[in-house]
Amino acid sequence: DTGVSQNPRHKITKRGQNVTFRCDPISEHNRLYWYRQTLGQGPEFLTYFQNEAQLEKSRLLSDRFSAERPKGSFSTLEIQRTEQGDSAMYLCASSSEREAYNEQFFGPGTRLTVL
């Protein structure tokens, strides 16, 4: 399967703990996005990478959140000192700069529950 993969699929943690999620994009895609989706809502943009450069961060991404994409391949999203409000589905998507429409392919998501 050459789609976008995300790990773990589910994460339950206690408030105050740190968590890290991983996203492996489609191999030839140089663009990578993180979105957050809460219950009953559409995904909201968090951050964008073009190759290894993080070019945009949403105001939703507080200083407790950090994302990296070393070497322009996989990406990690870390949340420090988790809060109950961080409970959501975290979605990763990738796309190719060569694709005219920038059609984004989404991974299955990581569902985070903060107790």
- Which positions touch another protein (CB under 8 A)? 31, 33, 35, 40-45, 48, 50, 55-56, 89, 91, 93, 95, 100-109, 111
Q: Which is nearer to another protein, 23 or 89 (CB)?
A: 89
Min separation Cβ 39 and another protein, Å: 11
CA dist 25 to 34, 84, 97, Å? 11, 28, 13
Q: Which is nearer to another protein, 25 or 43 (CB)?
A: 43
Query: Distance between terminal CA atoms of the chain?
Result: 33
Min separation Cβ 3 and another protein, Å: 9
Question: Is 85 buried (19+), middle (13-18) or exposed (0-12) by CB count in 10 A?
Answer: exposed
